[in-house]
Amino acid sequence: MIYAVIDTNVLVSALLTSHADSATVMVMNAVINGDIIPMYNKEILKEYEEVLSRKKFHFSKSLIKQYLKFFSNVGIASERVHSMEDLPDPKDVVFYEVALSKEDAFLVTGNTKHFPKTPVVVTPAEMLRILAEA
């Protein structure tokens, strides 16, 4: 099993795209199919809810509630591991630190430039390659 924190931008992109073969959709399908076990904490779920609730996305409250419940039910609640990294956006720190809480876990993000260059931080396309090799 592969454990990963799914950055909010990956979730939003997967929900917005009409391309079933996009890397973000395929990553979310892997989560839904149980190939990726999502990691989260309360702060991450709160950000998911806040971002998905933005009017510009037009996601229904029902859909948002479904995703939050799904992540809570199939994912693993994780604690943050303090990192000395200085990230450009303080809101991103929680995603990185939760990913560090489990050995061999990943942070899947479309914004790799917001995080340190480490094997932990991967793009959706890189996660698909990791899944294919597993």
Domain boundaries, the chain: 2-133
Q: What average pLDDT does this structure show over 27-43?
A: 97
In terms of CATH architecture, what is 2-133?
Answer: 3-Layer(aba) Sandwich (3.40)
CB 47 within 8 A of CB 91: yes
**Per-residue model confidence as pLDDT tens digits over 40-99:** 999 999 999 999 999 999 999 999 999 999 999 999 999 998 887 777 677 889 999 999
